[in-house]
Amino acid sequence: MRNEFAEAARHEVANSQLRANIRNATHTIRAKREEAVAEVPDWEQLREAGRRIKERTMRNLDRHLEQLERSVTAAGGVVHWATEAADANRIVGDLIVGAGAREAVKVKSLATDEIGLNRALAARGIEARETDLAELIVQLGEDRPSHILVPAIHRNRGEIRELFRRTLPGNEQLTDDPAELAEAARRFLREKFLSAKVGVSGANFAVAETGTICILESEGNGRMCTTLPEVLITVMGIEKVLPRFADLEVMLQLLPRSSTAERMNPYTSLWTGVTPEDGPREFHLVLLDGGRTKVLGDADGRAALHCIRCSACLNVCPVYERTGGHAYESTYPGPIGAILTPQLTGFTQGNSLPWASSLCGACYEVCPVKIDIPSILIHLRSRINREVDGYGGGGERLAMGLLARAFARPGRYERAQRFGRWLSRPLTREGWISRRLPGALGRWTDVRDLPAPSAETFREWWAQRR
Amino acid sequence: MSSRELILGRVRAALADVADDEPASWIYDRDADEHSRYARAGSRDPEALAALFADRCGEYRATVTRAERAGLGPAIAAACARHGASSLVVPTDLPEAWRAPGVEWREDHPSLDVHALSGFDGALTGCAVAIALTGTIVLDAGEAQGRRALTLLPDLHICVIGEEQIVEGVPEAFERLAPAARSGRPLTFISGPSATSDIELKRVEGVHGPRRLEIVIAG
Ligand code: SF4
């Protein structure tokens, strides 16, 4: 315990210099998102179209899933259905073993984090190699990501040079120039890509009509993972389906600007089954329920499934900023987490989250598919009060009481936040949240995931402002 | 019961409130109203489109040049020279006029091994469509483009875009790309070279994808 505390403390001290960078990045991306959105004259029409597309899709989800299955199959792919995380993990593991491989290159994804795929594969002796730069730095250092925006920010360039010199063969002469360090990583992972037999990805969207899968990214590791291996396995939640190819013209305008504040992210890949002489020879699509049908069953809550994981709602949420995110109990953080986590888990987790909101409406304002998060929060509060033992009106008192106590005693509040943040670190690796917010930083969140707890609490931020 | 039946059963049970005859999807031409009728076509003329496209690509740190169709060879040679590239891998159906002298050309036929592809200084291709507002080029494995690995592994990608291939916005691009998607061809949207800011927040071009993107607009 003493050592763990010392480690946490060391991190805090080491981070003080970096906080300025991180704060900068966070605030820059908010401003940049606004700019990116402001230059689109029909933004509101796009949002409304996005909302309606998603709503219609969810209300007819069975038809679209069946259509997707037919299209993917017709294009030479194989569709698998997984009711729960364990099913999906077993299917993916069997496919990798079946391909005669013990290793897979992976582009980080929300769905695979949600189901704890890497851990499940490791238990079968299969290594899932994450392939973006920050991930590599963290993995080589046998380390944990320090921040969602920049998971390797606790490592300065000198440390990264030492790490690479020590762990990547042939880099004894490496300098600490970031471009040269990136080059070393490029060479190392290039070998992995060129020899990989199996690639694993998530999906941002899947088009039922054509059987086309779509992922968005920045670095090119997504292209590598989905193009070079002989076998490609994509794991996606059933809510990611879109009926028509034309629906993408709306989503690809909404997502990059909302997420990374870019007009378009560097790379978007779309593929349909298998293509002769181009890319993998085998394609498997794993369709995951994992609680989504529970969300679907609540007509007033199902809009939570419309989320395209841009993370804009997190960045504007005053409660998220103040609580540092740990209060979201390691599932989805922020406003989307507050409406999704309790529903996905059938009210076995995160039941106090719907109270962790001031209902200020900022999340609704920025949401590219206009999810009315505040209304769903209110709806869930009443459901939880009605349906969950021990709540019956007490939920609000309980959650508010905790928040109030924390806010009332500054010292306690800060300690609680730091502890929570520290606690959350390992979870951010394998849980729902494990991804950083890209953007101003040239990174891509979503086939990946949502950001985890902010490494900078509101009070720390405030202290620095003054 | 299979997982498939189980999941589809759960979905249907969850949607008991939805009428059977409800349209299954939202279709622009049928369903868009004043709240949702986003712009599907722009109004810029070809010259303005080319200028806008060049501008937006420049912001992504791609190099954009323009050339007469007859002068493409020298323009491509100049792009190679800027990056010290002397060997290019190309799709088999690359137009003859693009093959500048002084560069070593290799056709991707029969399909080169990925290690071999990785060894070239660059790849030269055309594209299917380019989007002015976002500075995006889209490859659809069609004419003069080859397979996906071609533009992924070499460090330099030189892409020739015909002026007539530039559209204003994303919806127009999707309209043009629909036939390729329907026939199962892969699509790659490229908006500038790959980039990361993972080390001390310093922007570095290219981690895995090509670090240099040269775009030649042929008019
Ligand atoms: S709920 Fe949040 S993360 Fe999801 S689409 Fe809306 S703003 Fe983006």
CB atoms under 10 Å from CB of B43, counted, come to 7
Name the more confident of B102 and A37: A37
Describe the crossing of helices A373-387 and A394-408 by its angle, rounded to 10 degrees: 120
Dump pLDDT digits (tens) for A37-92: 999 999 999 999 999 999 999 999 999 999 999 999 999 999 999 999 999 999 99
Residues A73, A11 within the same domain: no
Q: What is the DSSP letter of A143?
A: -
pLDDT above 90 coverage of chain A, percent: 51
Minimum distance, in Å, between the CA of residue B133 and any CA atom of chain A: 8
CB atoms under 10 Å from CB of A372, counted, come to 17
> Is the pLDDT score of A370 beyond 90?
yes
Rounded to an integer, what distance in angstroms lies between the CA atom of residue A52 and that of residue B35?
11
Our answer on whether the CB atom of A369 is closer than 6 Å to any ligand 1 atom is yes
User: Domain containing B102: what range?
Assistant: 45-218
Residues A138, A228 within the same domain: yes
Minimal CA–CA distance to A227: which of B42, B45, B139? Answer: B139
Q: B186, A271: Cβ pair inside 8 Å?
A: yes
Ligand 1 pocket: which of A48, A54, A308, A357 to mutate (most atoms <8 Å of CB)?
Answer: A308
pLDDT of residue A281: 97
Residues β-bridged to residue A287 = A81, A236
- Does residue A397 lie within any of the structural domains? no
Which residue of B14, B174, B186 is in closest CB contact with A249?
B174
Domain end position, chosen among A242, A257, A290? A290
- Does residue A296 lie within any of the structural domains? no
Our answer on whether the CB atom of A65 is closer than 6 Å to any ligand 1 atom is no
Minimum distance, in Å, between the CA of residue B156 and any CA atom of chain A: 13
- Does residue A10 lie within any of the structural domains? yes
- Which residue type occupies A328? Y
- Does residue A357 lie within any of the structural domains? yes
User: Domain containing A335: what range?
Assistant: 1-34+312-391
Residues A220, A262 within the same domain: yes
Residues A83, A158 within the same domain: yes
- Does residue B55 lie within any of the structural domains? yes
What separation in Å is there between the alpha carbon of A258 and the centre of ligand 1?
A: 9
Tell me the mean pLDDT in the region A436-448: 32
Name the more confident of B50 and A418: B50
> Is the pLDDT score of A397 beyond 90?
no
Minimal CA–CA distance to A256: which of A16, A46, A27? Answer: A46
Our answer on whether the CB atom of A311 is closer than 6 Å to any ligand 1 atom is yes
Tell me the mean pLDDT in the region B179-193: 94
Q: In this structure, which residue's CA is closest to atom 6 in ligand 1?
A: A367
Rounded to an integer, what distance in angstroms lies between the CA atom of residue A201 and that of residue A189?
16
Q: List the Cα angle B123/B124/B126 in 5-degree steps.
A: 135
Rounded to an integer, what distance in angstroms lies between the CA atom of residue A452 and that of residue A323?
12
Provide the b/e sequence for A38-59 (b: ≥16 CB within 10 Å): eebebbebbbbbbbbbbbbbbb
pLDDT of residue A113: 82
Domain end position, chosen among A391, A425, A450? A391
Q: Does B126 touch chain A (CB under 8 A)?
A: no
Ligand 1 pocket: which of A29, A257, A309, A328 to mutate (most atoms <8 Å of CB)?
Answer: A309
**What is the number of structural domains in chain B?**
1
What separation in Å is there between the alpha carbon of A316 and the centre of ligand 1?
A: 11
Name residues 5-34 of chain B within 8 A of A (Cβ): 6-8, 10-15, 17-18, 22-28, 31-32
**Helical residues (DSSP H) of A39-147, grouped into ranges:** 43-59, 61-74, 85-98, 110-114, 117-123, 133-140
Minimum distance, in Å, between the CA of residue A101 and any CA atom of chain B: 19
Q: What is the DSSP letter of B147?
A: -
Of the candidate ranges A15-19, A42-46, A424-428, B80-84, the one whose mean pLDDT is the lowest: A424-428
What separation in Å is there between the alpha carbon of A119 and the centre of ligand 1?
A: 27
- Does residue A281 lie within any of the structural domains? yes
Q: Which atom of ligand 1 is nearest to the CA of A308?
A: 5
- Does residue B170 lie within any of the structural domains? yes
Pairs across A and B, CB distance < 8 A: 270
Q: What residues of chain B lie within 8 A of the CB of A289, using their CB?
A: 7, 10
Cβ A425 vs Cβ A144: under 8 Å: yes
Rounded to an integer, what distance in angstroms lies between the CA atom of residue A51 and that of residue A57?
10
- Does residue A156 lie within any of the structural domains? yes
pLDDT band for position B162 (cuts 50, 70, 90): very high
**What is the number of structural domains in chain A?**
3
Domain end position, chosen among A391, A419, A443? A391
Task: Kindly state the tokens that stand for B192.
Answer: 């500038």
Residues A121, A236 within the same domain: yes
> Is the pLDDT score of A12 beyond 60?
no
Name residues 84-123 of chain B within 8 A of A (Cβ): 111, 114-115, 118
Q: Sort strands A231-237 and A282-288 into parallel, antiparallel or unpaired.
A: parallel
Rounded to an integer, what distance in angstroms lies between the CA atom of residue A182 and that of residue A6?
31
Cβ A403 vs Cβ B156: under 8 Å: no
Cβ B201 vs Cβ A150: under 8 Å: yes
Q: What residues of chain A lie within 8 A of the CB of B23, using their CB?
A: 56
Q: Does B136 touch chain A (CB under 8 A)?
A: yes
Our answer on whether the CB atom of A153 is closer than 6 Å to any ligand 1 atom is no
Task: Kindly state the tokens that stand for B62.
Answer: 């791609």
> Is the pLDDT score of A15 beyond 70?
no
**Helical residues (DSSP H) of A260-391, grouped into ranges:** 292-296, 312-316, 318-323, 334-344, 362-366, 373-387
Task: Kindly state the tokens that stand for B57.
Answer: 């690509």
C-alpha pair distances (Å), B122 with each of A177, A185, A371, B83, B214: 24, 20, 45, 9, 10
- Does residue B161 lie within any of the structural domains? yes
Ligand 1 pocket: which of A302, A320, A336 to mutate (most atoms <8 Å of CB)?
Answer: A336
Tell me the mean pLDDT in the region A292-299: 97
Dump pLDDT digits (tens) for A197-231: 999 999 999 999 999 999 999 889 999 999 999 99
Tell me the mean pLDDT in the region A232-245: 98
- Which residue type occupies A374? P
Q: What residues of chain A lie within 8 A of the CB of B194, using their CB?
A: 218-220, 266-267
Rounded to an integer, what distance in angstroms lies between the CA atom of residue A367 and that of residue A103?
38
pLDDT of residue A465: 38
pLDDT of residue B204: 77
pLDDT of residue A456: 42
Q: List the Cα angle B83/B85/B89 in 5-degree steps.
A: 130
pLDDT of residue A109: 83
Q: A228, B23: Cβ pair inside 8 Å?
A: no
Dump pLDDT digits (tens) for A311-321: 888 878 877 76
> Is the pLDDT score of A24 beyond 80?
no
Ligand 1 pocket: which of A54, A367, A445, A448 to mutate (most atoms <8 Å of CB)?
Answer: A367
Q: Name the average pLDDT for chain A.
A: 80
Provide the b/e sequence for A382-420 (b: ≥16 CB within 10 Å): ebbbeeeeebeeebeeebeeebeebeeeeeebbebbbeb
Residues A270, A317 within the same domain: no
Residues A355, A228 within the same domain: no
Our answer on whether the CB atom of A366 is closer than 6 Å to any ligand 1 atom is yes
Minimum distance, in Å, between the CA of residue B195 and any CA atom of chain A: 5
Minimum distance, in Å, between the CA of residue B188 and any CA atom of chain A: 5
Q: Which atom of ligand 1 is nearest to the CA of A339?
A: 1
C-alpha pair distances (Å), A126 with each of A90, A105, A282, A432, B139: 12, 11, 19, 21, 34
Our answer on whether the CB atom of A312 is closer than 6 Å to any ligand 1 atom is yes
Rounded to an integer, what distance in angstroms lies between the CA atom of residue A122 and that of residue A108?
16
pLDDT band for position A342 (cuts 50, 70, 90): very high
Minimum distance, in Å, between the CA of residue A81 and any CA atom of chain B: 5
Q: A194, B178: Cβ pair inside 8 Å?
A: no
Rounded to an integer, what distance in angstroms lies between the CA atom of residue B174 and that of residue A291?
33
Dump pLDDT digits (tens) for B59-79: 888 999 999 999 999 999 999
pLDDT band for position A398 (cuts 50, 70, 90): low
Tell me the mean pLDDT in the region A306-315: 89
Residues A338, A262 within the same domain: no
Cβ A164 vs Cβ A171: under 8 Å: yes
CB atoms under 10 Å from CB of A165, counted, come to 14
Of the candidate ranges A8-22, A257-271, B112-126, B134-148, the one whose mean pLDDT is the lowest: A8-22
What separation in Å is there between the alpha carbon of B36 and the centre of ligand 1?
A: 19
For chain A, what is the radius of gyration of the CA atoms?
A: 22
- Does residue A297 lie within any of the structural domains? no
Residues A199, A222 within the same domain: yes
Q: A278, B181: Cβ pair inside 8 Å?
A: no
Highest mean pLDDT range out of A44-53, A107-116, A387-396, A441-450? A44-53
- Does residue B33 lie within any of the structural domains? no
> Is the pLDDT score of A436 beyond 80?
no
Residues A457, A370 within the same domain: no
Closest residue in B to A217 (Cα) is: B194
pLDDT of residue A443: 30
Of the candidate ranges A4-18, A56-70, A236-250, the one whose mean pLDDT is the lowest: A4-18
CATH of the domain at B59: 3.40.50.10420
- Does residue A303 lie within any of the structural domains? no
Tell me the mean pLDDT in the region A16-36: 71
- Which residue type occupies B33? D
User: Element (H or E) spanning A78, and its range?
Assistant: strand A78-82
> Is the pLDDT score of A421 beyond 80?
no
Q: Sort strands B156-162 and B212-218 into parallel, antiparallel or unpaired.
A: parallel
Q: What are phi and psi of A457, to 5 degrees?
A: -80, 165
Name the more confident of B15 and A447: B15
Residues A430, A455 within the same domain: yes
Q: List the Cα angle A50/A28/B214 in 5-degree steps.
A: 75
Residues A283, A211 within the same domain: yes
Name residues 35-74 of chain B within 8 A of A (Cβ): 35-39, 56, 60
Dump pLDDT digits (tens) for B27-45: 999 999 999 999 999 999 9
What separation in Å is there between the alpha carbon of A35 and the centre of ligand 1?
A: 18
Minimal CA–CA distance to A145: which of A136, A115, A461, A459? Answer: A136
C-alpha pair distances (Å), A219 with each of A72, A442, B186: 27, 9, 19
Rounded to an integer, what distance in angstroms lies between the CA atom of residue A323 and that of residue A414?
9
Minimal CA–CA distance to B187: which of B123, B111, B114, B136? Answer: B136
Cβ B80 vs Cβ B103: under 8 Å: yes
Q: What residues of chain B lie within 8 A of the CB of A269, using their CB?
A: 186-189
pLDDT of residue B121: 96
What separation in Å is there between the alpha carbon of A193 and the centre of ligand 1?
A: 32
What separation in Å is there between the alpha carbon of B187 and the centre of ligand 1?
A: 26
Residues β-bridged to residue B218 = B67, B162
Task: Kindly state the tokens that stand for A425.
Answer: 């670190």
In the sheet that holds B187-190, the strands lie side by side as: A241-242, A205-207, A212-217, A267-272, B187-190, B136-139, B129-131, B166-167
Of the candidate ranges A12-26, A380-394, B9-23, B204-218, the one whose mean pLDDT is the lowest: A12-26
